[in-house]
Structure 1
Amino acid sequence: MNNIEFIENHVVTELVKQGYEQSVARISADIAVEHYRRNAASAKGKIFSDCLHAAKVWAGRYQPQIKR
């Protein structure tokens, strides 16, 4: 598993766990991968956190009401 696959899989898993729909989580994972390709980490060892944050921001705009 390379870095991009890791980010895709774990972002989808985390967003679904937080109550987002599967389709929103998949699209958000693509946003996270784009963020990974374009940016450096804000701090050492924080690249996944940054990617997850970017995905959550996008998912929150796309699906504002989370099912709990």
Structure 2
Amino acid sequence: MNYEQFIEANVKAELLKLGFSSSIAAMATSEAIRYYRKQPASKRGKMLEDCLNQAKRWAKSAAKHKH
């Protein structure tokens, strides 16, 4: 498993655990991967946290506009 796959699996699992629908979780996970690809090196051990925060912001926004 490479790091992108690791981020994808963990971010999606966390979003589903937080109650987001699978479609929103999948789109937010894509945003997290896009964020990972654009960012320079993060503090050691913080990239997953940064990607998860980005995905949560995106998912909350998408869930708000969906209703």
TM-score (norm 1): 0.87
Give the unaligned 5+ runs of structure 1.
none
CA-atom RMSD in angstroms = 0.8
Task: Give the ranges of 4+ consecutive aligned residues of structure 1 lying more than 4 Å apart after TM superposition.
Answer: none
Once the two structures are superposed, residues 15-53 of structure 1 have per-residue CA deviations (whole angstroms, 9 ceiling, x without a partner) of: 000010000000100000011010032x22100000000
User: Post-superposition shift, 1:62?
Assistant: 0.2
Aligned residues: 63
CA distance in 2, matches of 1:30, 1:8: 8
Give the unaligned 5+ runs of structure 2.
none
Identity score, percent: 38
Which residue pairs with 1:57 in the alignment? 57
Higher share in helix = 2
TM-score (norm 2): 0.88
